[in-house]
Structure 1
């Protein structure tokens, strides 16, 4: 497989993590650079690791990922996004914040990397070595996620509490997109 194709796949896979990073960055008040690195490492690490797992699992895993993966991603993203919206509207919280701990980021990293698991299965079926694609996917996702946190942080300072609503809507939209792609493809 050509590197240009691998790079395009990596960019496509990084888009969900980028959008989520913007959402999380919008709630940051301090430690922007630190959280950009943390988000980049978590999202990039999961996006790099999931294709390897998919590749190792091969075709046997394809049916499980194809059936349940999109539903799991949809549920995680809608629950987290819905909570962000509800708390921002009620004003009883700062919405889900990266500062609340790595558990939020971990859930989001899993939810946004499930499609990378399926890509890994595809690489196995195509008999494509996984090392270069996994490294490329991880590096691209790291860069996009870190940049997303920084952009989201700048956006959040301008929008204030409304950023929590926008971030929640983005997460719900990503979840719906994943589900609709699964149902109608």
Structure 2
């Protein structure tokens, strides 16, 4: 796989994480650089691990993974999105949004990276060097998610509850998009 193809794959795999981190940044009261870096690190590590897991599972389990990956992503992202909507509607206009838990961050990261596991299986079939591709995906995801979190900070500080509700809708739409893409195949 050429360096250009690896870069395109890495950026393509990190777009969902960017959107989710953007939404997450919009829902917290104050995003610190450390929060953004932690978010990027969690997304990056998960996005590195899932293609490695897919690679290790390989051809033997490809049918099982592709049969359920979209449902797992849809469920995780949908539940987290509904939680964001509920929190936005429940919160009074002048109350600050709550800080999201680490478990919610991990759930979002896993939800956005389920497809990377299937990509890992595909890379095993194509005999691609996973030890170059997986870290490239992780680094791209780290950069995109960190940037998304910081950009979301601007949205959240300007639009408050509306940004939190929008974040929930974005996560639900992201999960629905993943589901529809797989059901259309």
Using the size of structure 1 for normalisation, the TM-score is 0.94
Task: Pick closer, same or farther for the CA change 1:57–1:129 going to 2, 3 Å.
Answer: same
Task: Describe the superposition over 1:91-140 as per-residue Cα deviations: whole angstroms up to 9, x where unpaired.
Answer: 26866x5x332101111111111111011001100011101101110000
Q: Provide structure 2 residue ranges, at least 5 long, that are not aligned to the other structure.
A: none
Report the equivalent of 1:142: 142
Q: Provide structure 1 residue ranges, at least 5 long, that are not aligned to the other structure.
A: none
* Residue 75 (structure 2) pairs with residue 75 (structure 1): yes
Task: Describe the superposition over 1:6-38 as per-residue Cα deviations: whole angstroms up to 9, x where unpaired.
Answer: 111111111111011011101222342111111
Report the equivalent of 1:8: 8
- Say which SS state the counterpart of residue 146 (structure 2) adopts: helix
Task: Pick closer, same or farther for the CA change 1:94–1:175 going to 2, 3 Å.
Answer: farther
Q: Note if contact 2:84-2:167 (Cα within 8 Å) is conserved in structure 1.
A: yes
* Residue 113 (structure 2) pairs with residue 130 (structure 1): no
Q: Considering only aligned residues, what root-mean-square deviation do their CA atoms show, in Å?
A: 1.4
In 1, Cα distance between equivalents of 2:117 and 2:102: 21
Report the equivalent of 2:34: 34
**How do residues 24-103 of structure 1 correspond to structure 2 at under 5 angstroms?**
24-91=24-91, 99-103=99-103
Moved more, 163-172 or 26-35: 26-35
Residues matched between the structures, number: 183
The alpha carbon displacement at 1:71 in A equals 0.1
Report the equivalent of 1:163: 163
Using the size of structure 2 for normalisation, the TM-score is 0.94
- Say which SS state the counterpart of residue 15 (structure 2) adopts: helix
Q: Which runs of 4+ in 1 moved over 6 A?
A: none
